[in-house]
Amino acid sequence: MIVDLHCHSTASDGTLDPAAVVARAAAQGVDLLALTDHDTTAGLEAAVEAARAHGIGFIPGIEISALWSGATVHIVGLGIDPLDARLRAGLERLAEERARRALAMVERLEKLGLSGSEAAIPGDPRAAGRSHFARWLVDQGHVKDWRAAFRRYLNRGRPVYVPGRWAGLDEAVAWIRAAGGVAVLAHPARYRMTASKLERLARGFREAGGAALEVVSSSHTPDDRRRMAALAARLGLLASAGSDFHTPGGFVELGRDLALPEGCRPLWSQWPAARSKGATTPETCFA
């Protein structure tokens, strides 16, 4: 069974609309998919409908931007009820923050002599992120590629980086749980923390009510996967897997190379219907 529990659509910083993400996942042989856009559930309705049409299992998800000990970390929520009032109130705050931050980034670019970057902001400015500015920088020929955009301008410590006033780690987990979901610490090996700091983060996440580590991610090397599997086992956390797909034509593909290492306890083995193929609604997947 191919399970992909982390990807993006045009509702945040992906380039395919939600239905197209689902169609592509189905074409790639994905049996169970979660759409996890940054700080928004706007794509879920269209994705659920597309998953029904394609006959693949679907889990409504989100990837919440959070702060822990001064670092930005990402918390994936799976099986959430997008209408939950507490989740909605939290996401409202983050959406306002995204809009504010996008304008601040336009000002920074202006000061560097790069004008016109309002055009980078998507139709809904509350969905804006650094990826939108990266694409604009590439399209305008200011940098040769996406990586250079982050390296030169957008990474922390670079001139266009505006820190986000995101949710606290505990808040992000609480919103997800209030909405009936389970919380997953996204791509833990990507935070470039020492092993002991990462273990503190994972313990704090568990104490906040977190359920799983994203052991397998496209941004994890085989060695990262082994280390994250060992950390999850040591802390009694479940293991999740997701491509973090954003756009076609890159190195990352939906559903590809997502097998968990030996010895992991898969998060989805707890989802009765997910064990058999053909679960087509969030309700049946996540019963």
Interface contacts to ligand AMP, rule CB under 6 A: 13, 38, 65, 129-131, 146-147, 150, 155, 246
Interacting partner of 65 out of Mn ion, ligand AMP, none (Cβ under 5 to 8 A depending on kind): ligand AMP
Shortest distance in whole angstroms from residue 55 CB to Mn ion: 25
Shortest distance in whole angstroms from residue 134 CB to Mn ion: 10
Query: Which two structure tokens, joined as six digits, stand for 114?
Result: 């790069």
Interacting partner of 31 out of Mn ion, ligand AMP, none (Cβ under 5 to 8 A depending on kind): none
Interacting partner of 191 out of ligand AMP, Mn ion, none (Cβ under 5 to 8 A depending on kind): none
Instruction: State which of residues 10, 35, 41, 74 lies at the interface with Mn ion (CB under 5 A).
Output: 74
Residue sitting closest to Mn ion (CB): 74
In this structure, what are the phi and psi dihedrals at residue 66, rounded to the nearest 5 degrees? -140, 160
Closest CA to 74 of 207, 195, 210: 210
**Rounded Cα distance, 18 and 48, in Å:** 9
Shortest distance in whole angstroms from residue 283 CB to Mn ion: 25
Q: Is 256 exposed, middle or buried (0-12, 13-18, 19+ CB in 10 A)?
A: middle
Distances (CA, A) of 85 to 37, 44, 129, 147, 177: 18, 16, 24, 38, 12
Q: Which of residues 130 and 177 has its CB atom nearest to ligand AMP in the complex?
A: 130
Query: Which two structure tokens, joined as six digits, stand for 141?
Result: 């020929």
Residues that bind Mn ion (CB under 5 A): 13, 63, 74, 186, 244
